[in-house]
Amino acid sequence: MILGLIEHDRGMLNEMSLEMLTFGRDLANRLNLPLEAVLIGEGANALAEGLQAYGVSKVHLVQHPRLDDYAPEAWAQSVVELIESEKPQAVMASGTDRGNEVLAYVGARTNLPMAANCTEVEPGDPYTVTRVRWGGSLLEEAHLTGEPKLLTVAPFMIPVEEGEAAGELVLNTVTPALDDKDFRVRVVERVKSTGDTVSLTDARVVVGGGRGVGSSEGFESLDELAALLEGAVGCSRAVTNQGWRPHADQIGQTGARIAPDLYIACGISGAIQHTVGCKGAKQILVINADPEAPILSKAGYAVIGDLHEVVPVLNAEIKKLKNQ
Ligand SMILES: Cc1cc2nc3c(=O)[nH]c(=O)nc-3n(C[C@H](O)[C@H](O)[C@H](O)COP(=O)(O)OP(=O)(O)OC[C@H]3O[C@@H](n4cnc5c(N)ncnc54)[C@H](O)[C@@H]3O)c2cc1C
């Protein structure tokens, strides 16, 4: 059997799981094996019925009084127990932060290798997988050993397709043996992002700031520019490392992928790990003090100069145009 871990947030399905099920169903069909799914936490029970339309014949409902929110080690332990009782040939999850995190813990607890962000799989022993590396700039062919095979499916690569499983959907309720050490990492507080500003991934204009901005206060003029253009502010990892902006604002390989009409990159050098996150932008305007900055090779327009001088002038001009 092929087992897919369904990702949800307190009962809200992450649509990436449907991509993973589409990928898993294709593998299961080729191996003539059933596709089964695991839903962790009582709040997700209602999702079970809908999974049959994606080829799932059996859903394992993991229930435990402490599984009321995401806790990666507890989720991993739940999967480990299913591996022991159900003996799947492969276990897969979405290649999201949570999917990769849970399967990495499963790998650590079972001493099995895990292949992250796969786009193709050729079963056998070992499996041959193609996986995305370096934020999409490289596709790697790798061999995946172990029993079961642990892999995650690269997001946005597999078009979701329905394919109903035959027969009645079987539900199997299980209660894992979890203890305090499984809850060392857990959600302790949820903080709603403030304001009614447009989100980074939906914004038509994104103003990005890098190390060149110099401080969290330095972002004031970038915030103003984004507000004037009804856009959002993003940043490089150098900025989140400094604690100038939250990680939610980070653009790049380990941050958000953006595809705005215009990306204004201020004081950002253009490391590959950053540019993979903004390569979907239709147009890039660079503001940088260094005429040799690598990001200039991606720019349609550039202003060479100090962003602390250029951005306020830009803001003043836009205000004039808007009669503000
Ligand atoms: C595994 C891994 C994952 C990573 N993931 C990410 C990721 O998701 N996102 C990401 O961004 N990075 C990521 N990085 C880090 C990445 O490699 C770079 O270190 C980072 O992007 C550099 O940030 P920066 O361009 O802001 O800083 P720098 O490279 O230091 O560049 C600063 C730029 O600002 C310019 N500048 C300085 N002062 C001014 C001024 N007053 N006016 C105008 N310009 C000025 C400089 O000329 C320079 O070009 C990752 C790295 C690794 C190893």
Cα(273)–Cα(207) distance, integer angstroms: 17
Distance of CA 299 from the midpoint of ligand 1 (Å): 16
Other CB atoms within 10 A of residue 18 CB:
22
Domains held by the chain: number: 2
Q: Is 234:247 a contact under the CB 8 Å cutoff?
A: no
pLDDT score recorded for residue 282? 95
pLDDT score recorded for residue 109? 98
Other CB atoms within 10 A of residue 63 CB:
16
Distance of CA 182 from the midpoint of ligand 1 (Å): 36
Cα(2)–Cα(21) distance, integer angstroms: 10
170 and 277 assigned to the same domain: no
129 and 219 assigned to the same domain: no
Q: Per the domain annotation, does 200 fall within a domain?
A: no
**Sole residue written with tokens 């990492």:** 185
Task: Tell me, using a 6 A CB cutoff, whether residue 151 lines ligand 1.
Answer: no
pLDDT in tens, 140-160: 999 999 999 999 999 878 889
Q: What is the CATH number of the domain that holds 217?
A: 3.40.50.1220
Dump the DSSP string for 132-158: EEGGGTEEEEEEE-SSSEEEEE-TTSS
221 and 144 assigned to the same domain: no
CA-proximal residue: ligand 1, atom 37 (nearest): 212
Dump the DSSP string for 34-97: -EEEEEESGGGGGGTGGGGGGTEEEEEEE--TT-SS--HHHHHHHHHHHHHHH--SEEEEESSH
Atom of ligand 1 nearest to the CA of 294: 49
Q: Which among 171, 166, 234, 160 has a CA at the least distance from the CA of 199?
A: 234
pLDDT score recorded for residue 18? 96
**pLDDT-flagged residues of the chain (< 50):** none
Task: Tell me, using a 6 A CB cutoff, whether residue 221 lines ligand 1.
Answer: no
Q: What is the DSSP letter of 30?
A: H
168 and 135 assigned to the same domain: yes
Pocket test for ligand 1, best of 241, 245, 269, 295 (most atoms within 8 A of CB): 269
8 and 131 assigned to the same domain: yes
- β partners of residue 205: 262
Distance of CA 274 from the midpoint of ligand 1 (Å): 7
Task: Tell me, using a 6 A CB cutoff, whether residue 250 lines ligand 1.
Answer: yes
73 and 114 assigned to the same domain: yes
pLDDT score recorded for residue 133? 85
179 and 213 assigned to the same domain: no
Q: What are phi and psi of 191, to 5 degrees?
A: -115, 120
Task: Tell me, using a 6 A CB cutoff, whether residue 66 lines ligand 1.
Answer: no
Pocket test for ligand 1, best of 100, 207, 211 (most atoms within 8 A of CB): 211
Task: Tell me, using a 6 A CB cutoff, whether residue 308 lines ligand 1.
Answer: yes
pLDDT score recorded for residue 201? 84
Task: Spell out a b/e string for 126-165, using b for 16 or more CB atoms within 10 Å of the CB, else e.
Answer: ebebbbbeebbeeeeeeebebebbbbbbbbebbeeeeeeb
Task: Tell me, using a 6 A CB cutoff, whether residue 245 lines ligand 1.
Answer: no
One-letter amino acid at 44 equals: A
Look at residue 257 and give its three-state secondary structure.
coil
229 and 310 assigned to the same domain: yes
50 and 157 assigned to the same domain: yes
pTM of the entire predicted model: 0.69
Give the domain range for residue 251: 205-321
pLDDT score recorded for residue 51? 97
